[in-house]
Amino acid sequence: TAPTVLNGPGLGLAGATTLELEVDSFLPTDVIGIGALREAGYNVVTWDPRGEWRSEGVMHLNSPDLEGRDMSHIISYLATLPEVA
């Protein structure tokens, strides 16, 4: 098992998918890229928020009923995986 990092994108950005990036070029240089986190032994979960990029549905900015529920589903799913600490 390994610690797990939830790496959500900023508004209008797609979820990170490139492991080669040490830092994300859209974010300040002190933000660690998913590649560096994976190399350090972390599990990393990324996603496209509802209604953005490859995600379906309609975006509802900061909606606890929709975005909150989506995050709850991600966390509940992760809790079923034996490799997630």
**Which sequence spans correspond to the domains of the chain?**
1-85
Backbone angles phi, psi at 69, to 5 degrees: -65, -40
Q: Give the C-alpha separation, 39 to 51, whole Å.
A: 30
Tens-place pLDDT, residues 17-66: 666 655 555 655 556 777 888 889 999 888 888 777 777 777 777 778 87
pLDDT at 8 over 70: yes
Q: Is the Cβ–Cβ distance between 34 and 46 less than 8 Å? A: yes
Distances (CA, A) of 43 to 13, 47, 64, 74: 21, 14, 25, 14
Higher pLDDT, 35 or 73: 73
Quickly state the pLDDT bin for 12 (edges 50, 70, 90): low
